Amino acid sequence: MMIWGRRSPSSRCVEERVMSRGQVYPSESRLLTDELTGVAVRQVTDHPSIHHHPFYYLPAYDDAMQRLIFVSHRTGRPQIFAELRASRQIVQLTEQEDINEWSVHPSHDGRYVYYTAGGGAWRVDTETLKAEELVNFGSLAGCEEGMVGAAMGTTSVSHDDHWWAIPVKVGAVFRFLVIATQSGECDVILERETIGHPEFHPSDSSLLRYAGPYYDRLWVINRDGSQNRLIYRRNVEKKEWIVHETWRPGSYEIVVSNWPHGMIGVDAISGAVRSVCAFNAWHASINRQGTLMCADTTYPDRGLQVFDPRDGRGIPRTLCLSKSSNIGEHWNTDHCPYDDAKIKPYSPQHTHPHPSFSPDGRFVVFTSDRSGFSQVYEVELPAWSQQPKSQ
């Protein structure tokens, strides 16, 4: 195990550049009715600029649901904002250059929002708005163009808020960092050619999953760097495309898309594999009870679909239409396109819905550019979504 660095006693802070940080905007909330299902959809943001919530398997709210965290480009560059759910007012939390907009992760206790910016790992206090650099990567951290796999820059905070996992690109390789959030100590637990989309187990902060290269996607590793292991070997002859994974709470199973044929569940302990659903679930999130998933769809776009991940059938029901443009022609396939040729997809992530459950399981937040600009939306799950459906 390598020790990369630890926070200095003085800790670098961003306090001098107030600019728009702390600015309060009036509510932009408005209610819409989904034309297909009739459910109420609340539009959270309404500024003519790009907005999006964190990536689909990451929380967009603190556990108490006092704030809904999102990124907005309304100031001319990506900054972190929060909707105060009690008043619906919007508060700008950061004013900082080079924020990696897909690294954003609110702490579960609501005290901080964690993110990377430039060559460092940062957090902003949601009350004082003081931004603090926990670890500086120096000139070692780099960022590839595009947003596929590891280059996207997603990070993960453990359920107890004690640990923060960050893949950092250093030259031709990635280093997997784990930061102790209380002390700022930083360990490099792994170095390899590709490390992307990390996620702590929802109840076991000693275990993480991450995405390796497309041909060997599903990996798990202990927080101390031990027992790094591939848990699923894809069918090469079928050119399986294993992509977009998440833990299933209450188990050690990882649920992942075998695009576009459905989803499978892979037990990280036993290696057992089972069918979860048989429709084109694209980015599928799961509630904290592990009883319901919500997936966006594309090629064809059938809207947001909710389904039971436990029964082996996963019969989908339409929650609402996202009406997002879902840019990314490489998804129009029946197998992994990277097996055919080396491609560099154009797939701007703010055009993808990325549905994500609220901590209490009552809401799904998603992003849509239906209005011409990507905005954040929230839909309350109707009672029927919790009831089993027969074929």
141 phi/psi in degrees, rounded to 5: -80, 135
pLDDT at position 20: 86
- Give the DSSP H/E element, type plus range, for residue 167: strand 163-170
pLDDT at position 151: 52
263 inside domain: no
332 inside domain: no
pLDDT at 147 over 70: no
**Which region, left, alpha or beta, applies to residue 361 given φ > 0 means left and ψ of -120 to 50 means alpha?**
left
The whole-angstrom separation of Cα 314 and Cα 174 is: 35
292 inside domain: no
Residue 19's pLDDT band (cuts 50, 70, 90): low
Residue 264's pLDDT band (cuts 50, 70, 90): very high
326 inside domain: no
Query: What CATH number corresponds to the domain at position 178?
Result: 2.130.10.10
- Give the DSSP H/E element, type plus range, for residue 92: strand 90-92
Average pLDDT of the chain?
A: 93
pLDDT at 6 over 70: no
266: Cα separation from own chain's centroid: 20
pLDDT per position as a tens digit, 183-229: 999 999 999 999 999 999 999 999 999 999 999 999 999 999 999 99
The separation between the first and the last C-alpha atoms of the chain, rounded to the nearest angstrom, is 51
pLDDT at position 5: 43
What is the tally of structural domains in the chain? 1
Q: Are the C-beta atoms of residues 227 and 219 closer than 8 Å to each other?
A: no
- What average pLDDT does this structure show over 140-167? 73
Q: Are the C-beta atoms of residues 113 and 106 closer than 8 Å to each other?
A: yes
Burial class (CB in 10 A: 0-12, 13-18, 19+), 371: exposed
pLDDT per position as a tens digit, 93-108: 999 999 999 999 999 9
pLDDT at position 154: 97
- What average pLDDT does this structure show over 275-283? 99
In this prediction the pTM is: 0.92
303 inside domain: no
pLDDT per position as a tens digit, 323-335: 999 999 999 999 9
Amino acid code (one letter) for 254: I
380 inside domain: yes
Q: Is the peptide bond prior to 198 cis by the omega test (within 30 degrees of 0)?
A: no
**Residues of the domain holding 77:** 2-9+19-236+343-384
The whole-angstrom separation of Cα 73 and Cα 309 is: 35
149 inside domain: yes
282, 373, 370, 285: which is closest to 330 by C-alpha?
282
Q: What percent of the chain has pLDDT over 90?
A: 87
- What average pLDDT does this structure show over 18-33? 91
Contacts of 384 (CB under 8 A, 6+ apart): 317
- Give the DSSP H/E element, type plus range, for residue 318: strand 317-320
304 inside domain: no
